[in-house]
Amino acid sequence: MTIQEINAALEIIRLNGQRFLVPGGYIQPDGYYTLKHPTLGYVGFACDNGKPYMPVGRHTALQCILDAGGFDSFEGMVWVQEMR
């Protein structure tokens, strides 16, 4: 899958009930917005210990990323999965 194909499939998701495993337990960040790929999972950064990327600018910040064509690289990023 190319970077362009991955970016084209990203969608903005409002978190509501999803749980993510982090050191010491889990988080359930209800009401926050993040980016999700239908097969790879939620966009996150390796330094964020298993949390999806939830920018302070919320939906607007994520829409700006998508409007600009998405990410240039996924270096330093991870695909975060929900707890089952």
Q: How many residues does the chain have?
A: 84
Instruction: Look at the block and give the residue holding tokens 């999972």.
Output: 41
Domain map (residue ranges) of the chain: 3-80
Instruction: Look at the block and give the residue holding tokens 């695909």.
Output: 79
Q: Which amino acid, residue 40?
A: L
Q: Given pLDDT bands bounded at 50, 70 and 90, which one contains residue 84?
A: confident
pLDDT in tens, 18-48: 999 999 999 999 999 999 999 999 999 999 9
| Average pLDDT along the chain | 95
pTM of the model: 0.92
